[in-house]
Structure 1
Amino acid sequence: MKNSYLLIEIIASFHRFDYIVLHNLNKTISMQETGLYIMSAIYILAGIMHFVTPKTYLKIMPPYIPAHKTMVLLSGIIEIILGVGLLFDQSRFYAAFGIILLLIFVFPANIYMAKRMKEKQSKNRWIAYLRLPLQFVLMYWAYLYV
């Protein structure tokens, strides 16, 4: 129940952020800027979720990766930093490039998750299969801001 309240507060804070950024009366926001804000919110929220529900991420960690819990928390911190970095002109290039690298580094976990779900004959394995090509779409999306 605490996680639900935390998630609601996180979403509400993004709404306040959205209001401040997107409702500037003197400026219209382009589609590219809108995409940037959406991408930033996705990575910040995904990073926060590493702390809210770490078990979800621990389940998809391949056994050959050491220190599972540390890696989950570290990747959450990195996602938050990269998501925030997208918001500033000075760091946008590095953040977008970092997102591409992050997606490359977590790809083995997505493959592992797909294999595990196939072995277990999970009814939701299609989600794991969908994530694999989605990683390349996300890389391209980040590349637009490099």
Structure 2
Amino acid sequence: MKPLYVLLISFILLVAFNKYTEADKDHLFAGNISMSIMLLFTAMGHFKFKTSMAAMIPLFIPKKVEVVIFTGILEIFFAIGLGIENTRYYTGICLIIFLIAILPANIYAAKHQINYEDLHKPGPGLKYLWCRVPFQFFLITWVWYFSVRLY
């Protein structure tokens, strides 16, 4: 749950910093930038653990490593898009669709005990879904609240 910690710690730090500037009373900037930081953090994993993450993709999908790299690049674009006010709404919509689309890969990985960091070690299995599925919906809600709902 490293991405959750990155998201929440960066949000808390940005909100604390904004107390002194009063520039972001509704915390929209903090919410979007902290999501961007988390997306950049997770995008790094797409390049560092690309082979292990490719194993998370169901068998019927071809070119798994390329898909992992592509989704890492998408996460970088989402991070940039959330930081730009003019693109935030559409980026948020696309990010919500992306978060829904990748959930089956997480379910597949849990079902087959795939460890996305090390293929030679078993993953946590189905118990992982008890935190991953709610986390995915938390991320969707976060993006909706900070990026989409006001437009």
TM interval, short-chain normalised: 0.7 to 0.9
TM-score normalised by length of structure 2: 0.71
Identical-pair percentage: 27
Structure 1 unmatched ranges of 5 or more: 1-10
- Give structure 2 stretches of 5+ with no counterpart: 1-5, 115-121
Structure number with higher relative contact order (C-alpha < 8 Å, ≥ 6 residues apart) = 2
Matches of 1:113 and 1:32, distance apart in 2: 33
C-alpha distance in 2, partners of 1:123/1:66?
A: 22
Asked if the contact 2:43–2:72 (Cα under 8 Å) also holds between the matched residues in 1, the reply is yes
How many aligned positions are there?
A: 126
What are the equivalent positions in structure 2 for 1:99-114 lying under 5 Å apart? 99-114=95-110
- In structure 1, C-alpha distance between the alignment counterparts of 2:29 and 2:61, rounded to whole Å: 36
Map of 1:64 onto structure 2: 60
Deviations 1:67-125 (A, max 9, x none): 1011000000001001110001111011111110111111110110121129xxx5723
Q: 1:70 to 1:123 in 2, by over 3 A?
A: closer
> Residues 106 and 123 (structure 1 numbering): CA distance in 2 closer, same or farther, change over 3 Å?
closer
Q: 2:24 aligns with which of 29, 34, 46?
A: 29
RMSD, aligned CA: 2.7
TM-score under structure 1 length normalisation? 0.73
Contact residue 96 and residue 140 of structure 2 kept, 8 A: yes
